[in-house]
């Protein structure tokens, strides 16, 4: 798959304030998450991708285009900003139709596309109401609808789950997954890490204006060799199992919980540990009920990288 987004020595600053600094990255496409703490450069990167600002140095290409002030590129881009700036006197249908017409569609086609997009975000029953009457979550879904109504090739969504109730969050996560499977490239910038992880393992992590990590979550975690992997287990004979596991050279520590049923350990080589575990569990008749690697997820990786 050819790269959908390429940056080379990309920099953007605002007077003495550096937004991005010497960013070089190539993203193959699909669904991927843009992560980072406040001030990491995410907003600056999204503005550059959306063509709102020019780079101060370096180059950026998205779908083979330089984004800034590029009408041909804008027709292929769907953008859902974090800011809420709807026209309150317009209905959702009129608003999305109006914005879709800016992509060159006729009035009839724009209205058809707007109705279809609002249906996809579950706003059909209220699309004729003025948006000023909408809740925060409904307004958020209008923003998503206008971003997908013209069938973009690349969808950029900034904090798209803000203000949504649990049902709407589930529906929007399903929608982004559906778009990704249909071949749309989707960039999701969000602080809701477990929901990003439910959509994709592919991440870009920015910190202090630089690229800190890129790739699949488990691949990034595997590179963090200074942080032993944590594993938690429940077993009927947890103390006997703990003694046997502590004898493994790759296990650095084992602790048994006061209830005598669960234990936690740290290992320097998780693959070797899981290779030896079945044999030891069988020999000790440990009766393992469950086990999981508790720090292999996105939240732990994020904390390790920026900590």
List pLDDT tens digits, range 94-118: 999 999 999 999 999 999 999 999 9
Tell me, what's the pLDDT at 109? 97
Residue listed under structure tokens 């063509």: 51
Q: What digits encode the pLDDT tens for the residues 186-226?
A: 999 887 777 777 788 888 888 888 888 888 877 776 766 66
**Percent of the chain residues topping a pLDDT of 70:** 94
Tokens of 185: 């490239």
Question: pLDDT class for 296, splitting at 50, 70, 90?
Answer: low
pLDDT above 90: residue 53? yes
**Which of 139, 150, 63 is closest to 100 using CA atoms?**
150
Helix (H, G, I), strand (E, B) or coil at 67: coil
Judge contact between 187 and 42, C-beta under 8 A.
no
pLDDT above 80: residue 122? yes
Tell me, what's the pLDDT at 225? 62
Tell me, what's the pLDDT at 133? 94
Q: What digits encode the pLDDT tens for the residues 134-146?
A: 999 999 999 999 9
Q: How far is CA 72 from CA 69, 114, 152, 182, in A?
A: 9, 21, 12, 22
Judge contact between 165 and 187, C-beta under 8 A.
no
Tell me, what's the pLDDT at 118? 97
Q: How far is CA 289 from CA 235, 238, 248, in A?
A: 5, 10, 21
Full-model pTM: 0.77
Judge contact between 40 and 21, C-beta under 8 A.
no
Pairing mode of beta strands 57-62, 154-158 = unpaired
Q: What digits encode the pLDDT tens for the residues 133-180?
A: 999 999 999 999 999 999 999 999 998 888 888 889 889 999 999 999
Helix (H, G, I), strand (E, B) or coil at 192: coil
Report the mean per-residue pLDDT for the chain.
88
Helices 270-284 + 238-246 axis angle, to 10: 130
Judge contact between 154 and 62, C-beta under 8 A.
yes
Domains present along the chain, CATH in parentheses: 5-222 (3.40.50.300), 226-306 (3.30.70.100)
Q: How far is CA 27 from CA 74, 87, 204, 246, 270, in A?
A: 19, 35, 9, 42, 29
């Amino acid at each position: 798959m050819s790269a959908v987004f390429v940056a080379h020595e990309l920099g953007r600053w605002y007077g003495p304030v550096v937004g991005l600094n010497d960013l070089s990255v190539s993203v193959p496409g699909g669904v991927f998450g843009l992560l980072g703490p406040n001030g990491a450069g995410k907003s600056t990167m999204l503005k550059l991708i959306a063509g709102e600002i020019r780079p101060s140095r370096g180059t950026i290409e998205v779908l083979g285009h330089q984004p800034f002030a590029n009408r041909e590129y804008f027709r292929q881009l769907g953008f859902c900003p974090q800011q809420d700036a709807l026209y309150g006197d317009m209905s959702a249908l009129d608003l999305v139709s109006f914005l879709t017409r800016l992509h060159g569609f006729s009035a009839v086609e724009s209205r058809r596309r707007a109705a279809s997009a609002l249906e996809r975000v579950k706003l059909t029953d209220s699309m004729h109401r003025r948006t000023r009457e909408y809740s925060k979550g409904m307004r958020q879904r209008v923003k998503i609808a206008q971003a997908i109504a013209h069938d973009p090739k690349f969808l950029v969504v900034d904090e798209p789950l803000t203000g949504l109730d649990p049902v709407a969050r589930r529906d929007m996560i399903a929608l982004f997954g559906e778009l990704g499977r249909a071949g749309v490239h989707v960039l999701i910038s969000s602080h809701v890490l477990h929901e990003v992880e439910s959509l994709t393992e592919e991440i870009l992590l920015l910190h202090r204006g630089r690229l800190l990590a890129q790739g699949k979550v488990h691949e990034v975690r595997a590179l963090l060799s200074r942080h032993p992997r944590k594993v938690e287990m429940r077993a009927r004979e947890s103390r006997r199992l703990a003694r046997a596991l502590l004898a493994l050279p790759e296990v650095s520590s084992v602790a048994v919980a006061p209830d005598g049923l669960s234990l936690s350990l740290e290992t320097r080589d998780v693959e070797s540990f899981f290779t030896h575990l079945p044999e030891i569990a069988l020999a000790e008749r440990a009766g393992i009920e469950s086990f999981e690697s508790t720090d292999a997820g996105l939240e732990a990786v994020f904390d390790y990288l920026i900590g």
